[in-house]
């Protein structure tokens, strides 16, 4: 696919990225794009490799290699190279219904499994995907296309994150009448409030929501299923219910001083900031919560990084980010060969910005919190830290991170953001439908399927599989929609 010698003739090029000193002045996206012609040459780098792991989406070495959606990557890249953008969009649409999101926020599992990346730089598959979908929007190829015939079946989708949106699109295309319930004031779920605007501008979410509404999908916001509306009421109104509420229970830290004021769960903090930005049309920001404060972010994942980037834009005087695990190597270790997911050091935009503003990487590895200090008004003013070291449990074989005696220290902190991950779905939604949770607090479904213990209720996305990637949520939403459709119609049909 692509040009047979393209990977030898053309170097990898990405769209220009705004320098940290400039991009921290606002909350706008900072990843630029190449021209259509420049992007075409990037498509030319796709090799005729024979075994395209980029689209495999299989588990290798305990981690997924390639795209979980099984996008036909070499074919799409070939069409990009040939400048056949319309056919590239049609081909992408066969497996993907929300590429404008993954092309901005996905960690690009496809590129990590790219054969070209074994000895050189991988193909810019994610940016090629973004070019395809934005070309399609710009040239009127993405339209509402409501179904010509309705089945008379009604489906309620609870949650308007990536899984819920993907499922609703597929079910609507099959002719079912779909209503999406969202407890927040605006649709989008994680896409709206869990991902900062500088990674995903919210007019991109609004653009897709408008199309969905034009296609006949109904959105009902400010409605919390299990509280405002009972599960029994919903099942009376709809033939099927699909739960796609995400994994909304944040992991807390049980240490002395946790009740101090100024300690937030990361998702609550990010939601509040985005809501203030949207409510003010980006003319007002909650600077008063951050400006001049010494910020401690607990957690080294994507959400922790988003917190770092956000507080820098809000005027933090310093930022420290804690990571429990050891620092990853800069290159693949011998026990982590291609095409496994590369377990290597990742420095994301927030850490880059912190290094630019404060002169150093904000991360402290192998460290956790032992407690928080409060001032006389009950506000957090400091945190106790301890160094951790890996220690193998000879009984279980697992490696645990244990405190190093004598390594305790204190640092000042006026604002603490806990980004330690999520424990699973919020129980009250499952309770509303008399569903059981598995050992990881996720809604239990039938083996290799999406149907719950109630034959009319299905679950997908993080609510079923636990905290994961946007691309996995979309994949689950599509597959769950297929299963819901089959249960309604009595036969299997590609959705």
Do residues 304 and 447 both lie within one domain? no
- Please, which pLDDT band fits residue 214 given cuts at 50, 70 and 90? very high
How would residue 47 be classed by pLDDT, with cut points 50, 70 and 90?
Answer: confident
Give the pLDDT of residue 1.
59
Residues 332-344 have a mean pLDDT of 93
| Residue 341 predicted with pLDDT over 80 | yes
Report yes or no on 480 lying in a domain. yes
First vs last C-alpha separation in the chain? 27
Look at residue 495 and tell me whether its pLDDT is greater than 60.
no
Mean pLDDT score, 186-193? 97
Does a structural domain hold residue 231? yes
Mean pLDDT of 60-88: 95
- 280 with 244, same domain? no
Q: What average pLDDT does the segment 395-421 reach?
A: 95
Residue 13 domain-assigned? yes
Q: Is the same domain home to 275 and 412?
A: yes
pTM score, whole prediction: 0.96
* Closest residue by Cα to residue 296 from 262, 270, 329: 262
pLDDT at 50: 86
Q: Is the pLDDT of residue 494 over 70?
A: no
pLDDT in tens, 232-245: 999 999 999 999 99
Residue carrying structure tokens 């996720």: 442
Q: Is residue 144 part of a domain?
A: no
What total number of domains does the chain contain?
3
Mean pLDDT of 104-114: 96
284 pLDDT more than 90: no
Q: Are residues 33 and 104 in the same domain?
A: yes
pLDDT (0 to 100) of residue 3: 84
Task: Judge if 341 and 367 occupy the same domain.
Answer: yes
Kindly tell me if the per-residue pLDDT of 12 is higher than 90.
yes
User: Residues of the chain with pLDDT > 90: what percent?
Assistant: 92
Distance CA 465, CA 444 (A): 9
User: Which residues touch 167 (CB under 8 Å, ≥6 apart)?
Assistant: 157, 242, 244, 460, 477, 478, 480, 481, 484
- Residue 41 sits in a domain whose CATH number is 1.10.1060.10
In terms of domains, do 230 and 206 share one? yes
Q: Is residue 42 part of a domain?
A: yes
Same domain flag for 243 and 260: no
Q: Find the domain containing 112 and state its range.
A: 5-139
Please determine, for residue 492, whether its predicted confidence score (pLDDT) is greater than 80.
no
Confidence of residue 62 (pLDDT cuts 50, 70, 90): confident
Residue 494, in any domain of the structure: no
Pair (76, 165) in one structural domain:
no
Is 210 in the same domain as 187? yes
The highest-confidence range among 1-10, 266-275, 439-448, by mean pLDDT, is: 266-275
- Domain boundary, last residue among 418, 440, 466: 418
Mean pLDDT calculated for residue range 131-140: 98
**279 and 388 part of one domain:** yes
Q: Which letter does DSSP use for residue 170 in this model?
A: H
Mean pLDDT, the chain, whole residue set: 96
Shared-domain flag, residues 326 and 455: no
**Is the per-residue pLDDT at 65 higher than 80?**
yes
Domain end, chosen from 83, 109, 139, is at: 139
Instruction: Give the pLDDT mean for 304-333.
Output: 97
Do 22 and 123 belong together in one domain?
yes
pLDDT reading at 328 higher than 80: yes
In a domain, 149, yes or no: no
CATH number of the domain residue 370 falls in: 3.50.50.60
- Identify the domain boundary among 403, 418, 433: 418
Region 70-96: mean pLDDT is 97
Ramachandran category for residue 36: left, alpha or beta (phi over 0 → left; psi -120 to 50 → alpha): alpha
């Amino acid at each position: 696919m692509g040009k047979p010698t393209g990977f030898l003739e053309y170097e990898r090029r990405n769209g220009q990225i705004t320098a940290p000193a400039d991009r921290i002045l606002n909350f706008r996206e900072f990843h630029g794009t190449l021209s259509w012609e420049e992007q075409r040459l990037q498509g030319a780098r796709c090799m005729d490799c024979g075994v395209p792991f980029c689209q495999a989406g299989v588990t290798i070495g305990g981690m997924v290699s390639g795209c979980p959606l099984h996008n036909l990557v070499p074919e799409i890249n070939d069409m990009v190279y040939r400048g056949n953008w319309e056919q590239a969009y049609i081909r992408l649409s066969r497996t993907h219904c929300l590429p404008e999101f993954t092309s901005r926020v996905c960690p690009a599992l496809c590129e990590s499994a790219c054969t070209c990346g074994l000895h050189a730089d991988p193909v810019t598959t994610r940016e090629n995907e973004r070019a395809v979908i934005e070309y399609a929007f710009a040239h009127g190829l993405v339209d509402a296309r409501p179904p010509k015939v309705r089945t008379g079946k009604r489906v309620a989708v609870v949650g308007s994150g990536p899984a819920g949106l993907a499922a609703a699109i597929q079910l609507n295309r099959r002719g079912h009448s779909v209503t999406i319930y969202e407890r927040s004031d605006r649709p989008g779920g994680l896409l709206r409030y869990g991902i900062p605007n500088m990674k995903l501008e919210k007019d991109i979410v609004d653009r897709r929501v408008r199309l969905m509404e034009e296609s006949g999908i109904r959105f009902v916001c400010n409605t919390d299923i299990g509280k405002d509306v009972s599960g029994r009421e919903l099942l009376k109104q709809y033939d099927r219910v699909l739960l796609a509420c995400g994994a909304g229970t944040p992991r807390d830290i049980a240490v002395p001083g946790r009740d101090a004021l100024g300690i937030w769960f990361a998702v609550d903090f990010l939601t509040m900031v985005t809501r203030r930005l949207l409510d003010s049309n980006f003319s007002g920001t909650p600077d008063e919560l951050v400006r001049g404060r010494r910020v401690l972010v607990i957690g080294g994942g994507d959400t922790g990084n988003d917190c770092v980037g956000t507080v820098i834009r809000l005027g933090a005087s310093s930022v420290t980010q804690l990571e429990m695990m050891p620092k990853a190597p800069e290159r693949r270790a011998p026990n982590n060969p291609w095409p496994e997911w590369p377990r290597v050091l990742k420095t994301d935009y927030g850490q880059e910005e912190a290094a630019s503003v404060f002169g150093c990487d904000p991360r402290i590895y192998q460290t956790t919190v032992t407690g928080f200090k409060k001032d006389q008004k009950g506000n957090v003013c400091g945190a106790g830290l301890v160094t951790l070291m890996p220690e193998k449990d000879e009984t279980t074989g697992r490696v645990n991170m244990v405190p190093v005696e004598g390594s305790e220290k204190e640092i000042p902190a006026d604002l603490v953001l806990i980004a330690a991950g999520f424990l699973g779905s919020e129980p009250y939604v499952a309770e509303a439908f008399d569903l059981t949770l598995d050992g990881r607090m996720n809604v239990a479904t039938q083996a290799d399927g999406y149907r719950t213990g109630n034959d009319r209720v299905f679950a997908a996305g993080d609510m079923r599989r636990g905290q994961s990637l946007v691309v996995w949520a979309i994949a689950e939403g599509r597959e769950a929609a297929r299963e819901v459709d089959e249960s309604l119609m009595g036969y299997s049909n590609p959705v």
